[in-house]
Structures are given as C-alpha cells and as structure tokens.
Chain A
C-alpha cells in the first residue's frame, strides 16, 4: 500500500528580549544555576506577573510578517500540571485567544515549485526551567534560570507531507525570526526548537491517521531523522496489522530513534482557565501600525529584489537571503564594489563562503569585511588585477595584511596594461622560442597557449591576458 505522511510542526522560538516575559530577571544564557531566577520566576508565594511590552511587539511583528491576524484582544491562560521545572504548577500560556491567528508562509520545494503552509496560530507563553539528570545521589537538580523566558509557539497546519517539507518550513521560519530580530535562532542553546506531530494515512484517504507527537527536537537534521524514523515505524505498525497509539515520544539523537516519554504516559488534563493575575491583552490599531513601521524587508521580498536588481538566479538570490546577516553582507559588498552584483554574488557564495566554511566561521565573524571584499572586487572590474591574482590578494586580506590596494601595491601585483611593456615581453618570449614560433607558423595554432603561459610567467601573472593574446596574434602574423 502507498502511504502519505502528514506533519504539523509546533516551533518554539525564544524571543530575544533582555528580560523575561513576566519578570525583570535577565534572559542571558549560560549563567550559574538559579542566579537569574527571581521571586516571580521561582513562583514564590504572593508574587505576580507583569507582561513585557517587547514580547508583545515581537509577536505582532511575527504576525504581520506571516500575513496573520494580530488579535486586538487575546487572553493569557493557565495550563495546569505538576513538573519540577514548572515552579508554579502551571504555565502561563495562551489558549482560546492567541495573539497571532491564521496566517501562512510559502516554502520552496526541491522541484523548484513553492507550497503554501498554513500557520494556525502563534501564542505567547513562558518557558520552563531545566532538569539536570546528572547524578546528585540519585536525585535530579532543577535550574530555573530559563523559567519565564518568553516563547512564541508557532503552530502550523498539518500541511507538510514529508520530512523534507518539514525541514524547509522550519528553516524558513528560522530565517524569518532572525530577519525580524525576534529570536537569535541558536539551536544549540535551545532558542529555537520544535515538536512534530506525525501521522500517516493511505494515499487517497481523507481522514488523518492517529498521530504521535515527537517532543523537543533541536536541529534541522534531527527533525528530518526523527520524522523519517517515525514514519517508518508507523507504516511498519500499520502494515503489520497493528495500530498507532496517540502518544508523546522523545527523539533520542544517539540511537536515532523515537521512544515513548514516560513522564507523559498518562493523559493530561491541563484545566486551562484565564489567568486571573493578568488582564486581557488589548492592542489598538496605533500599536499594530507602529509595529508594522518597524518591519524590515522580508526574506521573500529581498530574494525577488536581488534576483531582479542584480540579475541573479532565483536560487542564488535565495542562498544570499537565507540569513539577514548574509544578505546584508552581500548588499554592502555590492555597494563597495561599485554596484557589481553578479561579481559580488560569485565571490560571496564562492571564495568567501568556502573559506568561512573551512574555518567554521559565521558570516558575522568574517575577517574580510564587505568594505574589504568590495574594494578587492573593484580592482577586478577596473582591470587592475586579474581574477587569478585576486584570489591571492583575497588570501592576504583574510590574513589581515591590509586592504586590496595596499596589498597590490606592496606586492607589486598590479596588472600590466601598458601595451608597450607587454609587447616587449611578448617579443622577448618569441625571440627566446624560435622553434615554437616556426611550428606555430606551420599551422600548430594551439601553441598560442604556450606563448601566453610564457608571457605570464615572465610578467609574474600581471599582464592583462586579453592584451597578451591580442599582441601575440599580431606579432606572430608578422
């Protein structure tokens, strides 16, 4: 039987605020345990939550960027359950009336087409703390620094049909939240993670199959592997005549498999109700307009503009706009290179990307700045140096030896364009190789390459290759 996979993702994006969603404690990552957990985060008796304005602005930004409705009125609710990393015994979240409702996002598929994925909702909630399972004499240690960190939970429609589509969607959201500067996207630190609802059904069947929820997946690779494992597991079950149980499963990255979560074995009854410590969140048109005014150019629009303005392929424009930092780098390079879009694209995606990749550096940590790279590209386009010499200059810039002009000057790499000087070198080469000149004149025209090579050797690569060719041809006819 042929099976169809149905996936919905719940992405948790930690919002990049300075302070927590309901308290004035810092959200900075990596502090010693419980040093950034204030009385509100610890759920001590009597203390009360007050909502962080920036969190609301960030959620509204996301809503506007995904063609969603930013709710004029939304409500915070308590989700009640007991767990040691949840200090109050309830999580403040949004239930019936989330702040962002019904939007969508288009993803690019491998076959070059694009697909629209529905965004059911995005709601604000507080993150929980962390349980540390290393052995404290058989006990678990609880660090509540993360408790109260603002989260935007972005819930997709079950529109995704493969692990590949799920990854493409997750990457697209990842790009978007960083463009919007609402999440740092750091997956190692857990700033961006997702739960996947996975089910399968026979092709052609309308009703969804029973789904499993895979919790806390924190890398694109794991999303793909976890979903593929889960799909195979479910198909195997169904084909073997068994049924899929609706349950919460955990992805074990070491074993590359999913397994049921023991702590979620019993069906939870979360007893949601409106949090009486918080009033309804009401946003007026002025607030939403003010947020709209702060929206940057979004990835899709930027890709289309790059493609149109710089004559780049849609694919290349897509690569260059995959992160805001890379796109900014590219545009600044173009500016410094005197508007050479195509040349800039080739260098940013080629030489620079390769070098960064080799050293495991991010674009933001590139030792070659857009100004330096643009300066180098200018010297290519104005003929000062050849592309080949440029690579040599690039290495020197990378090594911190200065800007392109300084390096070209100091190393004497300037291209010889003076035709008199080139002609002299050509004459010298021809004079030194009378045999080859005879053969050439006898019809072996492929020897032209040999002469070019010799001239370049004599000029240490600095001669303008076009000029060399022209002069060679002229003199060999003499």
Chain B
C-alpha cells in the first residue's frame, strides 16, 4: 500500500489511486496508478491538446495551469493534482469560442506546426493574469520554458502583446 501525502491522504487500492481533479472547471474522478504522470493521465482522459515533446521537463509542450500557475504535466504525478485545479488548452477556448490569446496567436501568424502552441498559450495566460501589460522582456521571460523550432518566437511575442491589447480593450482579465 502506498500513501501520498498532500491535500489529504490517498491510499492505493489494488495498485490504483482514486483522485478528484478539477479539470477545466469541472470535478473529474480519475483512477490512476501511483506512479502515473499527470501528462499521461490527461492524455488518456482525452485532453490531447497537452503534448509530449520530451517527457523530461525541458520543452514546455505539456504545460498546463495548476491552480492558475504554469506547470509541466510530464514532471508531476497525476496524484499530485488531487483536489487541485487544472486548466488545459481545451479549457481556455474552443474554435467556436476562442480565448483572445488564442485569437491573437492566429491573427499574428504565430502558429506554424502548432505543437508548442497549447503550452505557450497557457504560459501567456499565466503571464497576463499577473501582468496585464507586459513588455517584451517580460513576455520573453514568461515564454522561456516553451521551446518552438518553427517560428523564431518573433510572432509569438507579438501575439502576446496583441492579446494584452485585446484584453485591455475588452476590459477583461486574461
């Protein structure tokens, strides 16, 4: 029997843990293995927008928001998300109702292959939540953990600038 300390004590039954994670605003009961990574659990549950680029915490494509802060889902156990709030890219907006940050990435031409974009959009969201009017340095610092090989980052930095403007014009928080 394995015990994981955190928000309450979890006990593994038959090598499985029953956890509850708030994913994109709704509580979801998940049965996971104690050693299962959050990335694997999320993808298994259908959140395919969370990408696997390195499985080593180096590339940022698996970025989610954990209680509002960017986190690497390949570097934490699913059980560590028990009773916490997870936002994946699917929770931010949909093609029918995209979030202004997602629109800004599209409008500036910041999306090429798009594999890094979900993680980068979420990193941008966390930045704009804290700092609604970031300068280029702040943006570059915030996106520093999200590798992209296609774009040279030029238009992605522009996208975050544009998103900040859009949000301000709409008078809303990210």
The answer to whether A and B come from one shared complex is no
Task: Please give the residue numbers on chain B whose beta carbons come within 8 Å of chain A beta carbons, in ascending order.
Answer: none
